[in-house]
Structure formats: C-alpha cells, structure tokens
Amino acid sequence: MIRRLGFIGLGNMGGPMCANLVRAGFDVRAYDRDAAALARARDSGARAAASAGDCAREAEAVITMLPAPPQVEQVMLGEGGVIAALPPGGLAIDMSTSSTAVGRRIVQAAGERGVEVLDAPVAGHPRRAAAGALWIYAGGPAEAFASARPLFEAIGDPERILHVGGHGAGYTVKLLLNLLWFIQSVATGEVLAVGVRAGVALEQLHAALIASPANTHFLEHDLWPVIADGDYDRAFPLRLVTKDLGLAVDLAGGAGVPVELTALVEQVHRRARSAYGDDGGQLSAIRLYEDLAGLELRLPRSSER
C-alpha cells in the first residue's frame, strides 16, 4: 500500500487536495515555487520539499497538479524532475489537464526507469477540492489505478473515480468534458440573451428551460452564480479556459475529426479573454452575450434556488 507521497502544485485545486491527503493519513512531502502556497501546505501537515526532485526522491508515488502541459513536462522530465528522481517501482500521477502528446513522452521516459504513470485529471470547483469530492478520470494500467485508488478516495467522490482506459484516456476524457461544458456556456448565454431581448422575463425563461427536454446540469446548476449574483467564477480564469479549448482543438486534429463548433466556441472564449482579461471568470462567455445584447441576466433578488 502506498503511504509516502510527493505532491507538486499547490494552487487553488492542488492545495486542498494535498491537505486532504495529509488528513487521510498519508505521509506527504509537498513542493511549489510559490513560498506562500508551500507554507500553507506545511501548515496543513505536509513536509516541505526543496524542489520537484526532492519531493519525489523518497516517495512511493508523486502527484502533480499543474497549470498546463509545459509545466507538466518540465516538472516530470526536466533536469531534476520527477521521473529521474522517483525510485524504480514508483508511480507518477499527473492530475493536471494536459495533452496526450506530453503524456506519451512521460510514459516513454518513465518506462525506461521502471516507473509507472497514470494520467488522472480532475473535474470540480475548488470547493469540491476542499470537500474531497472531485471527479477523477484515470488513464493507465488497471493495476496502477488499483494501487492509486486509496489516494484518489482521499480527494475524490468514490462514485466518481473512473478508470477510463489506457495511457492518455484520462487526459482525453477531461478535455472533452471541459469542451462540452464550454459549448453549453456559449449556447446558454446566447439563448438567454435572445429570449430576454425578445421580451421573456429571465425568471420565466429559465424556469421553462429547466422544465423542458433541453434541460442540462449547466442550465440548472452551473449557471446559477451568474444569474443570481453576477459571479462569472474567477476561480477558473479565462487563460486556463482558452488553454483547455486549444488542447481540445489539437486533440480533434490528431484524431482527424473536423470540429467547426469547437473552433467557434474557442474563438468566443478568446474574444471574452480579450475583453475581460486573463483573469476573467470561466463563465465570461455569458458576460460577452450580456454586453452584446445590452442587458444583465439576473434573477430578481426574491428568487430562490
């Protein structure tokens, strides 16, 4: 059973994930270039490492939770990286939203050292990370997934921890579910802006759509921060949204599938990023439609969820 862990990447998601692993009784050594983030991990009970390699050197498994493929590749394969430092027989688990191309290079390098790899990106808001209730989509050997399952149960909802296939399958599923979510964001913003400008009150339009065959989890739940409070959810900023959409376009190109809708949705979000900045919230495509239509999509304060 895995007990000694390294954890690299202590941001909005990684910080609470690391804390939950400590709380579950794992011996965690953590690293982040941000001294404040590392201090918070130490306060939660993790031991501080001096580098990524230092984090991995005595670990049985290392988890990385990083912003984008370049950071994943550097931490895993760069000088003093995880793959070179992990002892043979160790397990490297990347829980970032990354690319299958980077994943393949990691798997090849790890295989040469007798290290196993899982790509296991997560879905969910930082609130779910804090609650230990994330969705997890793992790609890699079934035996490695079984070994990692106790770790995943410390940070994810046990009924939403899925083994989705071989190496790269986790990355693929995560990119596709993000893509579908962002498609729904654009479609929902467009539909609501048209409906309200056409004279239907938002409260009635929203209720009618929820009661219809076109209802979605996005429409019923994920949209709520915007229409209730004008909150476009800056916890996941547009710089990461456009990164993920670019990776989805690349994935489709590699699979040989034309994706006109995906390309359009990516451009809508890039336009939102241009308008609201890198740190604009992930629901800013709806804000873009509000501005184009000259309205705010807000429910009356008396409305209850």
The size of the chain, in residues, is: 305
Task: Please give the backbone phi and psi of residue 257, each rounded to the nearest 5 degrees, phi first.
Answer: -110, 125
Which CATH number is correct for 172-293, 3.30.70.1350, 1.10.1040.10, 1.10.630.10, 3.40.190.10? 1.10.1040.10
Same topology, domains 4-166 and 172-293? Answer is: no
Active site residue 243: no
Q: What is the 3-state secondary structure (H, E, C) of 236-288?
A: CEHHHHHHHHHHHHHHHHHHCCCCHHHHHHHHHHHHHHHHHCCCCECCHHHHH
User: Residues 164-184: what's their mean pLDDT?
Assistant: 98
User: Residues 284-292: what's their mean pLDDT?
Assistant: 98
pLDDT (tens digit, 9 = 90+) per residue, 104-138?
999 999 999 999 999 999 999 999 999 999 999 99
pLDDT band for position 230 (cuts 50, 70, 90): very high
What percent of the chain is predicted at pLDDT more than 70? Answer: 99
User: Residues 75-85: what's their mean pLDDT?
Assistant: 96
User: Residues 149-166: what's their mean pLDDT?
Assistant: 98
Q: What letter would DSSP give residue 132?
A: T
Which residues share a beta bridge with 29? 6, 47
Q: Residue 302: is its pLDDT beyond 80?
A: no
Domain boundaries, the chain: 4-166, 172-293
In 44-168, alpha helices (H):
52-56, 69-77, 82-85, 100-113, 126-131, 142-155
pLDDT band for position 305 (cuts 50, 70, 90): low
Q: Residue 303: is its pLDDT beyond 90?
A: no
Fold (topology level) of 4-166: Rossmann fold (3.40.50)
| Calpha distance 179→283 (Å, rounded) | 13
pLDDT (tens digit, 9 = 90+) per residue, 10-67?
999 999 999 999 999 999 999 999 999 999 999 999 999 999 999 999 999 999 999 9
**Given 174, 206, 269, 273, which residue is catalytic?**
174
